[in-house]
Structure 1
């Protein structure tokens, strides 16, 4: 069937907030004269793991660690970086081409709606997206497909009429479990070999025009949604 809608992940795909996240934690550890161990920094699932990271920093600092002050300092630093953060390379061209082709646009993110809206509003791109489906609206985070199912429900489309775009292996899992074909643009923090299950793999949105991506996707058979909760938990 003809593709009618594009559903984008937000963090790391539409906008490189993953890099600013890592940078803010690296910077905060250095305020205490320490170096962040970056191995395993990014979780194998969507959602917020900030409390675990603060607990790790508290253990490293020891007595006298002020969690509230640490959080305020880190967030102020990150917001300063975000002030000049735009869409990821090539994404603006894809969105423009999608609009010219009459394709509908949606976001499916494990992050809260307020986070996604504020960033897209700041860059002037919020109005481009007909649908936002976010992590604070569903019971489970990616690789749970709930947020993609919500996006499809709000679009009023079956999964074979849309395509997902992701930057993480667990995001690809979530999209495919919802029955979507998925284009992966690997983030720089995950080995490319982890994305072998993606339907299309690209190094960047800037390397290929959207029409070529969709032509490749349309040659791939649609998949059936995965309704097995046991399979989801085993991923």
Structure 2
């Protein structure tokens, strides 16, 4: 059956916001003369764990920790990093190919709209996205399939008419639980062996033209 749409995760897949997230937290710890423990930094789900991260930092700093000032400083630094953040390698070409092939593009992210849309707009991708679904619109985050089911409903298609693209194992699980085939482009912080259930694994979107990727999983 021919495809109608491609559904992309956002963080770490369309743009490498995972690296910038890690960098902002390392930077903030260093403002206190500390080195952040990286193990366990990235959660195995799509929910927001920043409060836990602030709690860990507060425990390391002690009574002098100012949560409001820390958040303001860290997010200001994040915004500076994101001013020059480009789409992941090959993504622009894939979006161009999708348009040429008449495929719609959707984004299904556990992050909220106020995070995803401004980043996509700054990178020049937002006007190419036909449908979006966000974590703040559903009751459960990836690996729960809710955000993918919402994206499919807004596209008005069944899962066999779309393919998902993800960068984490819990994202792959969410897409497949929604009935979608899923291509994984693992981010740098997850071991490759954890992507065994993906329908196809690529190092990046530059590995193959979109038409070749679609043909491999069809």
TM range (shorter): over 0.9
Q: Distance in 2 between matches of 1:168 and 1:193?
A: 11
Q: How does 1:4-19 map to 2 (within 5 A)?
A: 4-19=4-19
Q: Which residue of 1 aligns with 2:169?
A: 169
Aligned residues, how many? 218
Q: How does 1:17-166 map to 2 (within 5 A)?
A: 17-166=17-166
Q: Distance in 2 between matches of 1:199 and 1:119?
A: 28
Q: Does 1:214 align with 2:207?
A: no
Q: Which residue of 2 aligns with 1:187?
A: 187
Between 1:8-17 and 1:124-133, the stretch displaced more is 124-133
Gaps of 5+ in 2: none
The alpha-carbon deviation at position 127 of structure 1 amounts to 1.2
The alpha-carbon deviation at position 63 of structure 1 amounts to 1.4
Could you report, residue by residue, the CA deviation over 1:49-74 in whole angstroms, capped at 9, with x for unpaired residues?
11000000000001111111000000
The alpha-carbon deviation at position 40 of structure 1 amounts to 1.1
SS at match of 1:107: strand
The alpha-carbon deviation at position 3 of structure 1 amounts to 1.2
Q: Distance in 2 between matches of 1:197 and 1:153?
A: 24
SS at match of 2:174: helix
SS at match of 2:206: helix
Moved over 6 A (4+): none
Taking structure 2 as the reference length, the TM-score comes to: 0.99
Tell me the C-alpha RMSD between the 2 structures: 0.5
Q: Distance in 1 between matches of 2:47 and 2:196?
A: 23
The alpha-carbon deviation at position 19 of structure 1 amounts to 0.5
SS at match of 1:205: coil
Taking structure 1 as the reference length, the TM-score comes to: 0.92
